[in-house]
Amino acid sequence: MASRDITRFRLDIPQHDLDDLRERLARARWADEVPGQGWSYGPPLGYLRELAEYWRSGYDWRAQEARLNEFPQYTTEIDGENIHFLHVRSSRPDALPLLITHGWPSSIAEYLDVIGPLGESFHLVIPSLPGYGLSGPTCSVGWGAGRVARAWAELMSRLGYERYGLQGGDWGTWISRELAILAPDNVIGLHTNGMITFPGGDPAEMAGLTEADHARMGAWQRYTDELYGYKLIQSTKPQALAYSLADSPIGLLGWIVGVLKEWTDCEDTPEDAIDRDRILTTVMLYWLTNTAGSAARSFVETPDNSSKAEEEGVIAELQNGTVPHGVAVFPKDILAPVRPFAERINNIVRWTEYDRGGTFPAMEEPDLYVRDVQEFFASLRG
């Protein structure tokens, strides 16, 4: 029988791992580029070289490590895999437990700026996804959204939480919806920033779309046409990609920074939207744990089209579900949803649209993120 023990965890990276990283960065072999292409082919050489040099000589991992260690961390084994999570209890005895799920290419570092203000209202449980960062590489396949949701239900049970809220972004939206379907009697409400929505094929539904709805459909089309390469590679040949991400910090940096440029509300570089040190801390959590490859494998397991969703019963169950769902829509979110499509498959009780922010609002617009989460759950609790 698998252990249900929960073990206290403290992050303490060996110095030789940091020295090895600096040596790799110092002797990096750089790719060439065709001048004048900007970000159209991916991160420009000049930008990435400058960021990598800061990573090597200016970035202070120990300061970031200390910041992460300010919050209680634990590990436990669920379904044969190690699961790492933050568990930050509120000082309020009547606080609602809130399970927050990140996406890709993200980590628990996404929420460092919102833990304090959210902790005024919630007992926070923030896991590292299986195969991501401090949860370590997965040793088995099949870790799709449904299996992660079952693991999260078990985690909340082990922590003694019978009623709780859910929050998620990016892939975390799908996982959180799965858990709401799995355990509707336990979930008081579901809040997501962005969500995956699909047209249902009803002409009347399409005829009722607003100009903003059509714009979001156009953004989704751009994603599938221009930006889908990240998912396409990772959902078909993740092992081929894993070797370069495991061996080259420059390769890992370029892969993640390229995503952040496209999926955040930035003008010129991702640093317009997310603090430079926070970007590098996110990269470090993949690099130091050697989990970029296992995170890529998770894309193989994730349904991403309506026919697959219907096969798994997701849409049908959500149509008949009772869990209240609040959505915060940020304009540059890669999962910016279309409301009529969302209402067809979810119990939408709150819908808020903002004029700034992208896929990672807890880092990009923490004040907006915190306010929306707090107001949604306050409305449910009266």
pTM of the model: 0.93
Tokens of 28: 């990096």
**Domain of 107: which CATH number?**
3.40.50.1820
Establish if 332 belongs to a structural domain: yes
The answer to whether residue 276 is domain-embedded is: yes
- The residue range of the domain holding 368 is 41-380
| 6 domain-assigned | no
DSSP secondary structure of 170-234: THHHHHHHHHHHH-TTTEEEEEEES------S-HHHHHT--HHHHHHHHHHHHIIIIITHHHHHH
pLDDT value at residue 356: 96
Q: pLDDT tens for residues 245-268?
A: 999 999 999 999 999 999 999 999
Edge-to-edge strand list for the sheet holding 96-101: 6-9, 73-78, 81-88, 122-127, 96-101, 164-169, 187-193, 324-329, 347-353
pLDDT tens-digit map of 173-195: 989 999 999 999 999 999 999 88
Q: Tell me, yes or no, whether 36 lies in a domain.
A: no
Determine, yes or no, domain membership for 11: no
Residue length, the chain? Answer: 382
Give the count of domains, the chain.
Answer: 1
**Is residue 191 in some structural domain?**
yes
Of 185, 263, 270, the residue nearest 230 (C-alpha): 263
Token representation of residue 293: 């490859």
How many Å is the Cα radius of gyration of the chain? 20
What is the tens place of the pLDDT at every residue in 29-53? 999 999 999 999 999 999 999 999 9
Asked, for residue 25, whether it belongs to a domain, the answer is no
Give the tens place of pLDDT for each residue, 288-331.
Answer: 999 999 999 988 876 543 334 444 444 433 444 579 999 999 99
Please check whether residue 360 lies inside any domain of the structure.
yes
